[in-house]
Amino acid sequence: MITKLIKFPTLQSLGLVALTVSQLSLAADVTVEVRDSKGKLLSDAVVYVEGNKTANLAANKAFEIEQKGRQFNPQVSVVQAGTHITFPNKDKVRHHVYSFSPAKKFELKLYSGVPANPVLFDKAGTVVLGCNIHDTMLAYIHIVDTPFFAKTSASGVAAITDLPEGSYELKVWHYALQTDNKPAQQAITIKSTNQPVVIQLDINDMKLM
C-alpha cells in the first residue's frame, strides 16, 4: 500500500521532478518540496542526498538540542554521523535524557545546566530521545552519512546548497512515516540549474507531534 503511493520512476517520467544546478561554480542548489499523500506540505521532513562524492566527507560540526519548557528543541534534528550533540537543560527542573535507539543508546542521568560531555552520534540511523521523568518529552535525531542535508521548513520546502554536479540518491525521512522508519529515496542528477523536486510521503497522521 505504502510503496504503491511512492512511485518515483513514474513521477520522473511525468516531469514532476526537476533539478536546478549551478553550472558556473560546478556546484548547485536543489530545492525539495515534501507533501503527504493528500498533497499537504510537510514540515520537519529530513531531506538528504547520498552519492560516491559524499561518502567520506568528515563532519565536525557541533550540534545542540536544548530542553526548555519540558520540551526538546528542536524536536526533529538531522546531523551527519560523527557529530557531537550537547543537551543543555534550560529548565529549572532536572531532566534524565535517554535513548534506547540502536543508533545510539545513552542516558544523561538527572542533570541541570549543560552536561559536561557532549554525546557523539557516530552511526547513521534514527535516535528517539526521551526523558525518564517527563513522559511527554520526545525528540527525533536522524543521523545521516552525508553533509548534504536539510529539514523542511513550516512551508514544507528544504534546500540543499553547494551540491557538486553529479548523480545522487535523494532520501527523504520523516518521523511519522508509515513505513518502518525507512526513508523514501530516488535517484537524482544534479546540474547547474535544477528544477525543484516534489516528494510525496506516506504519513501516519497519528504519529504527528
Partner 1 sequence: MKFKSLKQQIIVIFLTLVLGIQLVGLIPIQRAIDKNVRSLVTKELEVGEKVVLNLLGSNNQNIINGAKILAADYGFREAISSHDQETILSALNNFQSRIRADIAIFQGVDNDTIAVSGDLTEQEAMPVVQHLISQYSASSQTLQFEILNDIPYQLVAVPIKAPIVIGWMVIGFEIDDALAQKINELSGLQVTFIQHVQNKPWNTKVSTLGTDDQRVIQNYFAQASKEVAINREMDVQGELYETKFLVLHDDAENKLIALLQRSITAEISQYQELKFSLLILTILGLGIFSVAIIYVSNYIAKPIARLSENAKQLEFGNYEAAITSDRKDEIGELSKSFNAMREAVATREEKVKRLAFWDEVTGLPNRAAFIQQLEATITSHRNRKLSLTVLVLNLDRFKEVNKILGRDMGDELLSQVAKKIKAEMRADDVVARLGADEYGILLSTLSEDLALLVADKLKKAFELPFDVNEQKIDVSAGFGIAVFPQHGETDEALLHNAETALNVSKQRNSGVVVYHPQFDVGTQENLTMATDLKSAIQAHQLVLYLQPKINMQTKQGYAAEALVRWMHPEKGFIFPDQFIPFAEQTGLIQGITLWMLEEACRVHMALKQEGIPLTIAVNISTRDLIGSDFPEKIEHIFRRHHVTFDAISLEITESSIMDDPVRAEATLQRLSQMGLKIAIDDFGTGYSSLGYLKRLPVQELKIDKSFVMNMASNENDAVIVRSTVDLAHNLNLKVVAEGIENVEAWDLLAKMGCDYGQGYFMGKPMPEKEFQAWLVRWESQSQQMAAETTSSAKKATVHKIK
Residues that bind partner 1 (CB under 8 A): 98, 100-101, 105, 128-132, 135-138, 180
CB of 3 to partner 1, least distance (A): 19
Closer residue to partner 1 (CB): 132 or 179: 132
CB of 135 to partner 1, least distance (A): 6
Residue with cell 535544477: 194
Measured between alpha carbons, how far is 138 from 177 in angstroms, rounded to an integer?
16
Closer residue to partner 1 (CB): 148 or 175: 175
CB of 160 to partner 1, least distance (A): 28
Structural contact between residues 202 and 2, judged by C-beta atoms closer than 8 angstroms: yes
C-alpha torsion 8→13→16→18, nearest 10: 100
Measured between alpha carbons, how far is 30 from 18 in angstroms, rounded to an integer?
9
Q: Which residues contact 151 (CB under 8 A, 6 or more apart)?
A: 44, 45, 46, 47, 76, 77, 78, 158
CB of 100 to partner 1, least distance (A): 3
CB of 134 to partner 1, least distance (A): 9
Closer residue to partner 1 (CB): 131 or 172: 131
Closer residue to partner 1 (CB): 170 or 174: 174
Measured between alpha carbons, how far is 96 from 133 in angstroms, rounded to an integer?
6
Closer residue to partner 1 (CB): 29 or 66: 66
